[in-house]
């Protein structure tokens, strides 16, 4: 049995006072990464830095 090897990617979406909302920027990032073959694994929010961290993986 062969095991899949993975590449991982972390994208951070921080707070912006002006410009698109965090939700819009997250949607854009999901679309962009999905088109590149990345699969979203999980999202974590860091309240200290007001940053969403999106963790992706795809086969190596």
pTM listed for this prediction: 0.87
Whether the pLDDT of residue 5 is over 90: the answer is: yes
The pLDDT of residue 1? 67
Residue ranges of domains in the chain: 28-60
The pLDDT of residue 3? 92
Q: What is the spatial distance between Cα 31 and Cα 57, in angstroms, rounded to a whole number?
A: 14
Q: What is the spatial distance between Cα 32 and Cα 38, in angstroms, rounded to a whole number?
A: 9
The pLDDT of residue 15? 86
The per-residue pLDDT for range 21-55, each reduced to its tens digit, is 989 999 999 999 999 999 999 999 999 999 999 99
């Amino acid at each position: 049995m062969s095991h899949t090897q993975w590449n991982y990617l972390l994208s951070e979406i921080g707070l912006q006072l002006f410009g698109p909302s965090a939700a819009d920027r997250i949607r854009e990032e999901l679309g962009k990464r999905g088109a590149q073959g990345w699969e979203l694994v999980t999202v974590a929010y860091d309240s200290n830095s007001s940053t969403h961290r999106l963790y992706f993986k795809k086969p190596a």
